[in-house]
Every structure is written in structure tokens, then in C-alpha cells.
Amino acid sequence: MALKIIFMGTPDFSVPTLRALADAGHDIVRVYTQPPRAAGRRGLSAVKTPVHQAAELLGLEVRTPLNFKDEAERADFRALDADVAIVVAYGLLLPEAILDGTRFGAFNGHASLLPRWRGAAPIQRAIMAGDKETGMMVMRMEKGLDTGPVAMTEAVEIGANMTAGELHDRLMQTGARLMVRAMDKLEAGDLPLTPQPEEGAVYARKIDKAETRIDFSAPARSVHDHIRGLSPFPGAWMEVPRGQKADRVKVLASTVAEGSGPAGTVLDQSGLVIACGSGAVRLTRLQKAGGKPLDAADFLRGTSLEAGTVLA
């Protein structure tokens, strides 16, 4: 017997879970997602979210409220008489009337090993902090920020050079499988719920543009983690001197390398090895403003960076 599910999500990360629940035979009675956003060079066209597009392909009803402050919107939600709400990267703060508006409540697919990295940017923060492991969790939602009891967990190793984009793609598939298993257990009346400990709670605050500039005075490992934690978006960046000016360049991939010298100094032009506060990093994939991502060798064909050049 299938569950009656309300699905709530917005970006690409949410789509595999929506599709997996539909493939598992559950009755998705409605999909909620963020409203279409202005796009294009002049912002004249409105683009539907990835979840909106996926839901339409599945023939599902979609609603895009700005919020759930309107009592009529809340009443309409409750009138669906759903068994459960599934929330994956929806992007709206849900009031208690929505969290409690189904038979079993709301369950969230969260990309961390709670209570570590509660909040908006768990994937990026885990890499930037140098974590060796993260994972996906299914938790029952409550009023606090990612504080609800945990139902299921699957850990994922973070490779030494793994970027946020790579981890994102792995976790969204892991999360889809985990949510289907959790809903199977919920349907069978066998889904355990374990309260989160407060010890070890860390908040993954939203990435601020002010922190995206690369600080080569930091240790090499920290610089490397910063670069990969912000790749591909929003991208860690540096300035490369060009005559009396400087070009902003995003660094999308790097490795820790051998070498030492004043922070920010190019030690090996051919290999793009840059000195850090201690140690060095090798920059392996870069992108000029308005350009496409390039491997280091291709980037250097159009940019002269002699040994001794100082990057900022």
C-alpha cells in the first residue's frame, strides 16, 4: 500500500528523491517548489525550478507559494490528507502548521551527519573544514533548525581532492535511495527515531561572497579545502596581475604540492604551484571571468605567469 506524499523541494539536489519516490510507487499528491525566477541576460524570462520541471514530466500537480503565512494555503495543504511531507532543499521556512499538517509529519533529507552542519550549506562547510566524512540523514522535522530526531543515516567518505560539486552529486543519489528505504519502514510502522545530541552541533551558515577570495597566507591544506569546498559554485577566486591591472580568476580544482616561499608567490610556472603560509598548492583547473573552465595547461597558454609572480 503506497503512502500519500507531499513533496517539497527546489534545486537539482531534490530531483532524484522526487523521482525515486514516484518510481517506488508512492502516491505523490502534490509538489511544492519555489516560484519561477527571472533569468536571461535581461531577466525577462521566468524559469521554473528543476523540481517544478521534473514534477511536470511526472504529471504531478505543482504549487509555488511565496510562503505559508496565508491560512487558506495552510488549509489547502491539510486538505490533501497526506500521510507524510518529504522536504529536500525546499528553501522556505515551514511553520508548525505545515510540519504537523500530515498524518506522520514532515521528514527532511539533509546532507550532513547531524548534529554536525545543521543549516544552509552543509556540503560546502564540511569540505572547507577538512572533514573526512559526511553523509545523508532522514530526520523528522520540528520547529528548530535541523534539530529533529534522526530516522536513517548513510555515511559518505570525502576524498582528499573531492569538490563540493562532486560531493553534491554523490549525496543527492545517496539521499534518494535513503529516503525510499525510510518511507518503506514508515509504511511498515518500523521507522526508528533517535533524538539528536546537542554535543557536537555545528551550524553551516550560508556562503558569503566576502569569504570566497583565496587567502594564500593560510596553510596549504586549508587553501586547498577552501578551493574545493567552493567549487564549482560560487567559486574561490584570486587576482592575477596583468600589466597595471589584475584579472579575477576562479580556481575550481587544486592539489596540495611540495614547495615553500612567500605566500601567493608562483613557485613553478609550468605547474602553477603557489606558495602558501606553509606548504604550497598546485592549481589544476581555472576559469577567467566570462570564460569557460580550463585545465592549468590550457589556462597558461593564454596567461603568462612567471615564477616569482605574486597572486592576491
| Alpha carbons 6 and 27: distance in angstroms, whole number | 9
* Angle formed at CA 55 by CA 59 and CA 58, multiple of 5 degrees: 35
The reply to whether 114 sits in an annotated binding site is: yes
- Helix, strand or coil, per DSSP, at residue 175: helix
The answer to whether the CB of 146 falls within 8 A of the CB of 139 is yes
Known binding residue 283? Answer is no
Distance CA 290, CA 176 (A): 34
Report whether 134 contacts 111 (CB < 8 A). yes
- 60 known ligand binder: no
Q: Is 66 known to sit in a ligand binding site? A: no
CB under 8 Å to 204, separation ≥6 — which residues?
112, 117, 118, 119, 120, 121, 122, 124, 125, 126
Location of C-alpha cell 550532513 = 112
Binding annotation for (6S)-5,6,7,8-tetrahydrofolate: 112-115
Binding annotation: 112-115
